[in-house]
Amino acid sequence: MSDTTETVLIAGGGIAGMCCALALSAKGFDVTVLERDVAPPAGDADNAFFEWQRRGASQFRHPHAFLGLMCNLLQDHYPDLLDDFYAAGARRIGFTDMLPPALLNQYTPTPEDDRLWVLMCRRATIETVLRRYLEKQTAITFHNGAIIENILTHSDGEGLSATGVQLRKDSAEQLGFREITADVIVDASGRTTKFPQWLAAHDITIEKEDHDAELLYYTRHYKFKPGIDEPETSGNKDRNAGDLGYIKFGIFPGDNGHFALILCLHKTETDLIEAVKDGDQFDRIARSIPGLAPWVDAAKAESTTHPFGMADIRAVWRHYVDDDKPLVRNFFAVGDAMVRTNPLYGRGCSTSILHAHMLADVLQAQTDPIARALLFDRRSEDELRPIYKTSLTEDRNNIRRALHYTQPGKAKDLPGWQKKFAAAFFDALAAAVTNNIHVFRGAMRSLNLLEKPGAFLTDWRTRLIVFRYMLRGRSKNAGVRTVRGPTRQEMLQLISTT
């Protein structure tokens, strides 16, 4: 970099935008963040969750978790920020907390285990802690109530460069400026970004891969009553997260005694979708699943929100480089604005902070706009593309399984022998993960994005162990993936008799 400090304008003050501000300011850039919503309210985590009007973030009150990738970035680079999360009530879930019961007696600690951990808290807590930490940094300026209506560009005959943004008139009147410029423009405005359509007005077409997960995602939040502790898992078949084929479910422990429950349904499950919108029905469905019943016991916990849903869940990848040429210079999209995966898998926060640090590294290493664009695109492909492809494959598998229940004729199955082999392999893998500490560690590395998804399966020792479990036969392995709960017909009967 030159001696002159470069200015960076970030559109969007959500998790991706704030992670960019965090990483870029640490590299010496002068950062301005434009956020359409108001700042978090004064007070504690509950004030933020119940009072903050956060219309610009569609997932604001849905569960979030920091996977190991994000946790270790914070631990290595921002330990004081991590302390702020702990002070706000965020909980560290360590490797030993995740061990299946069968592995507790054979467990011997290794240095690697210290990297295998997650942080649990509500998104309102995440954003509030991040925002207050960033407000202390002299190189970062926030403008709330900033509603962007267009991108500013310059054409020099060799291509288009981004130079700034234009604000909507009412927003401009509130903030005292209509246009704001910077050396680098970052789109962190999330899955509803409008930058591609603004660039289209300049004859710039952003190619987009777009795949519907065909899933609807419903959440309800709860809080334990005074003196009540979290339930302990009673066994493998009564897990508090699982898949009954027609419905997916999961508990997300939060901060300060709060937790969230998610129920996920394929869009063709119309009767169940109508049921989960009602609070009493939502709880009735949850109590019918043994792994959830202890959590939503009315004597132990009470709901703090009504059920609310999220639709339009997709896997999206936007391409800003074409034929080794950047479509627009000095412009970068990060997080969901460029790469979006199904939130069911919990990878969004971690990929956002990884993407932000990739951008900061690229801008520090290169000064030429074209070299920057090409390097950022290449690193995004290398580090995020495997995560995106894995999420897309999981979406397609989930769609196929769900359609077996509602529209069997539309389910596109693998050929018979491939289907049998895949079932036998995944049963064996699940059994190995549950019963062998070496395979479990590898699976946790992949789950926490500390390596490329599925990379642990290239290890010869892991392959040998899984193969041995396959030789046992499916009858001994199949039960590991089984989760107790009502059949689909029993569940439909349950909601129809109320």
What tens digit of pLDDT does each residue of 408-446 get?
776 666 566 677 888 889 899 999 999 999 999 999 999
CATH code for 7-39+137-211+314-392? 3.50.50.60
pTM: predicted TM-score of the whole model, two decimal places: 0.92
**Count of alpha carbons within 13 Å of 20, Cβ hemisphere only?**
36
Rounded to the nearest 10°, the torsion over CA 318, 353, 396, 420 is 140
pLDDT digits (tens, 9 = 90+) for 440-470: 999 999 999 999 999 999 999 999 999 999 9
Give 264's pLDDT tier (boundaries 50, 70, 90): very high
CA 186/CA 11 separation, integer angstroms: 6
Percent of the chain with pLDDT over 70: 96
Q: What are the sequence ranges of the domains in the chain?
A: 7-39+137-211+314-392, 214-312, 409-481
What gap in Å lies between CA 27 and CA 269, rounded to an integer? 49
Question: Per-residue pLDDT for 396 more than 50?
Answer: yes
Mean pLDDT for 182-200 is 96
> pLDDT at position 255, please?
87
Within 13 Å of residue 101, how many CA atoms lie on the same side as its CB? 9
The closest alpha carbon to 352, from 377, 391, 324, 380, belongs to 380
User: What pLDDT, on the 0 to 100 scale, is given for residue 331?
Assistant: 98
pLDDT score, position 105: 85
pLDDT value for 413: 64
Q: Percentage of the chain surpassing pLDDT 90? A: 73
Beta-sheet pairing, 308-310 with 184-187: unpaired
Residue 2 has pLDDT above 50, yes or no: no
pLDDT, mean of residues 251-256: 90
Q: How far is CA 455 from the centre of its chain?
A: 20
> 89-109 pLDDT, tens per residue?
999 999 999 998 889 888 999
Rounded-to-integer distance, Cα 309 and Cα 286, Å: 16
45 vs 258: CA distance, rounded Å: 11
Contact 483, 243 (CB under 8 A): yes
Whether 1 has a pLDDT exceeding 50, the answer reads no
CATH of domain 214-312: 3.30.70
pLDDT tens track for 41-100: 888 888 888 888 877 676 777 777 789 999 999 999 999 999 999 999 999 999 999 998
User: Residue 422's pLDDT is what?
Assistant: 81
Three-state secondary structure of 28-60: CCEEEEEECCCCCCCCCHHHHHHHCCCCCCCCC
Mean of the pLDDT values across residues 142-165?
94
198-215 pLDDT, tens digit per residue, is 999 999 999 999 999 999
Average pLDDT in the 260-284 region? 95
CA distance 60 to 352: 15
What does the mean pLDDT of the chain come to? 91
The confidence band for 233, taking pLDDT boundaries of 50, 70 and 90, is low
Task: Return the CA Rg of the chain.
Answer: 24
Give residue 4's pLDDT.
61
CA angle 199, 202, 204 (to 5 degrees): 60
